[in-house]
Amino acid sequence: MMKQNEQNHFDSNISGDDAFERFLSKQLQENQPYLMDDDFTARVMGGLPAPKKLSVWQERLIILVPLFIISLLVISQFSLLAVLIKVWTLAVSVDIAQLMQVGMLVSVAAISGASFWFARQLKLI
């Protein structure tokens, strides 16, 4: 008995969804004419004030001030002594081969970035 009720409920949901789909299709296919507003929309849009253009300094301040504040909050959560100790142990434990690998990686990244920038400037990519 329970299975039959569940199946009827499932079937009614499918038929309900199909009815809604048919309704949507019918509404979307109807060609509704443009509502004439005697250029009311154009006049309202024309009467709006022009958006203010921010100066370059304002744009930079909007980005840099929150960045600086958030950075200070994050840095304030670290123990400076613990960070210095870890950096010192890392610097002492690095051998010359690892140092050369890091140098090569930084060089490749810098040359790739410069090449990409130059290609964009010449509109090659």
Confidence class for position 111, pLDDT limits 50, 70, 90: very high
Over residues 5-35, the pLDDT tens digits come to 444 444 445 556 788 888 888 877 776 666 7
**In whole angstroms, what is the distance from residue 61 CA to residue 51 CA?**
19
Structure tokens at 115: 């090449």
Rounded to an integer, the average pLDDT of 29-44 is 79
> What's the farthest any 2 CA atoms get from each other in the chain?
79
Q: Residue 67: name the closest of 77, 56, 59 by CA.
A: 59
- Tell me the domain boundaries of the chain: 33-121
Q: Which of 9-23, 45-59, 66-80 has the lowest mean pLDDT?
A: 9-23
Phi, psi (rounded to 5 degrees) for 53: -95, 125
Helix (H) or strand (E) holding 120: helix 96-121
Residue 54 makes CB contacts below 8 A (sequence gap 6+) with 62
